[in-house]
Amino acid sequence: MMKALVYEGPGCITWTDVALPQLQHPRDAIVRVDAVTICGTDLHILKGDVPEVQRGRILGHEAVGTVLEVGAAVTGLAEGTRVLVSCISGCGRCRFCRQGVYGQCLNEGGWVLGHLIDGTQAEFLRVPFADTSLYPIPDAVTDRAALMLADVVPTAYEVGVLNGQVSPTDTVVVVGSGPIGLAAIKTARFFSPSQVVAIDIAQSRLDAARRFGADHVVLVDADPEAAVLELTDGFGADVVIEAVGVPESFELCTRLVRPGGRIANVGVYGLPATLHLEDLWTKNITITTGLVDTYSTPTLLAMLASGQTPSPW
């Protein structure tokens, strides 16, 4: 037996004894969990917003661990290897995986851990498609730094910074300074924007945004539209990254972007937002959305290992 955090229905989780995971397929691995974290998505599950999560499911989709056992078809991982357990599992073979779009894997991959199969908030877990879903961690990278690459950093980087095509000299506005917003601020810096502006409802989070690399911070109550216009000679932002997930926040983003600019939505929504096409149709803007694919995970691990981005995040 082992201890695990088990979802028992909306508003109810227990830390309880459950059976040890077993290999179920030749491409599986069993991993001992050494470090784990939680995600805003776990809170959505706990509220009952994700009905496909069944009672009895072990939660969690982010971990660092050690490979204990591999199935007969696993060729690239040995027992004892320290690995990052990514939030996304990919078969590596379907049409989406072949394009690096692992989040949409057609063979029971994608976001499955702590969702459709048992997850990481346990002493041990089974990982499907181990060769293409686990990432050996370079010696120079600590468990704590690597753990942020299981979900939060690739999500902010791929769905925010890369989808938003952050480019040299851009003004980048990040709406929301929670973990995703902070990771977006940090990774936007890879592309030399001229200024990064953080917007949030809480001063404490804006203080964190400054530590993560924001040049300007604006409270939502302090007229962010006027502040962004003043910082951009009246044009608006080149890139706006939405990192909250409520309708008001998305609609604010559409008022902050310059004509021809880009809005990269990262937020997870429980309610519909209004798209004001009557104002936007002439503005040539691009709006992107996405679930993380984790195609950037090897790059981000290499940046931690080489010291190109400091750790911990």
In angstroms, give the least distance from the CB of 300 to Zn ion: 15
Instruction: Please identify, among the stretches 101-109, 113-121, 168-176, 272-280, the one whose residues bind Zn ion according to the rule CB under 5 A.
Output: 101-109
Least separation, in Å, of the C-beta of 114 and Zn ion? 8
Tell me whether residue 73 or residue 275 sits nearer to Zn ion (CB atom): 73
Closest CA to 65 of 142, 2, 143: 143
Do residues 174 and 196 touch, judged by C-beta distance below 8 A? yes
Among 18, 33, 36, 41, binds Zn ion (CB under 5 A): 41
77-85, 147-155, 190-198, 211-219 -> range binding Zn ion (CB under 5 A): 147-155
CB-based contacts of 306-310 (< 8 A; 24+ apart in sequence): 307/140, 309/186, 309/187, 309/190
- Report the residue closest to Zn ion, judged by CB: 39
Interaction of residue 149 with Zn ion, rule CB under 5 A: no
In the complex, least distance from residue 141 CB atom to Zn ion, rounded to whole angstroms? 20
Compute the 3-state secondary structure of the chain and give helix, strand, coil in percent, each to the nearest 5.
Answer: 30, 25, 45
Among 28, 118, 151, 238, interactor with Zn ion by CB under 5 A: 151
Q: Among residues 214 and 292, whose Cβ is nearest to Zn ion?
A: 292
Rounded Cα–Cα distance for residues 197 and 102 (Å):
31
**Max intra-chain CA distance, the chain:** 63
Q: How many residues bind Zn ion (CB under 5 A)?
A: 10
Question: Identity (one letter) of the amino acid at 303?
Answer: M
Least separation in angstroms between residue 153's CB and Zn ion is: 11
Which residue among 4, 97, 130, 228 contacts Zn ion (CB under 5 A)?
Answer: 97
- Residue selected from 2, 35, 94, 246 as contacting Zn ion according to rule CB under 5 A: 94
Taking the complex as a whole, how short is the minimal distance between the CB of residue 42 and Zn ion, in angstroms?
7
Degrees, nearest 5: CA angle 10-112-304: 110
Single residue of 64, 74, 105, 301 touching Zn ion by CB under 5 A: 105
Residue 209: other Cβ atoms inside 10 A: 28
- What residues are paired with 127 via a beta bridge? 29
Amino acid identity, residue 228?
V
Contact between 39 and Zn ion by CB under 5 A: the answer reads yes
The answer, yes or no, to whether the previous bond of 298 is cis (omega within 30 of 0) is: no
* Positions in the binding site for Zn ion (CB under 5 A): 39, 41, 90-91, 94, 97, 105, 107, 109, 151
